[in-house]
């Protein structure tokens, strides 16, 4: 029987649990991927390069084993989510001629 747990987005408290216990060893590959995606996201916000290029570089620098690479999503599969993440954190387009350009976008 599968485990069902619902948690709160605010404080991660348990809202509902179906009472079924499920035990297994943690997946180390998942933690590696989470750390790599966090590095990719930080670069996406600080560097004005294409997100696929940033993801490809980070994956290359991570030097994963073949097994780890097999479970890693492809940069092309992450592109949409990374573009959305970048758009969410970039300032909105100005509505007047009185605006400031952030330092990241002042150089080419």
Token pair, residue 90, equals 């970039």
CA distances from 20 to 1, 17, 23, 40 (A): 7, 8, 10, 36
Could you read off the pLDDT of 75-100 as tens digits, one per residue? 999 999 999 999 999 877 778 888 78
Between 52 and 28, the more confident residue is 52
Could you read off the pLDDT of 14-38 as tens digits, one per residue? 889 888 887 777 677 788 888 999 9
Q: Of 58, 105, 69, which Cα lies nearest the Cα of 86? A: 105
Token pair, residue 69, equals 């690479």
Token pair, residue 101, equals 């350009």
CA distances from 4 to 26, 29, 38, 94 (A): 18, 23, 27, 45
The parent domain of residue 39 ranges over 24-89
Residue 64 included in any domain: yes
Number of domains in the chain: 1
Residue 5 included in any domain: no
pTM, full prediction: 0.65
């Amino acid at each position: 029987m599968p485990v069902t747990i619902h948690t709160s987005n605010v404080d991660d408290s348990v809202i509902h649990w179906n009472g079924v216990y499920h035990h297994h060893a943690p997946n180390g590959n998942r933690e590696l991927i989470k750390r790599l995606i966090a590095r990719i996201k930080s670069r996406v916000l600080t560097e004005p390069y294409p997100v696929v290029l940033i993801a490809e570089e980070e994956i290359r620098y991570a030097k994963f084993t073949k097994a780890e690479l097999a479970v890693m999503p492809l940069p092309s599969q992450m592109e949409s989510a990374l573009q959305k993440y970048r758009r969410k954190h970039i300032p909105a387009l100005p509505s007047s001629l009185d605006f400031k350009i952030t330092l990241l976008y002042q150089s080419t």
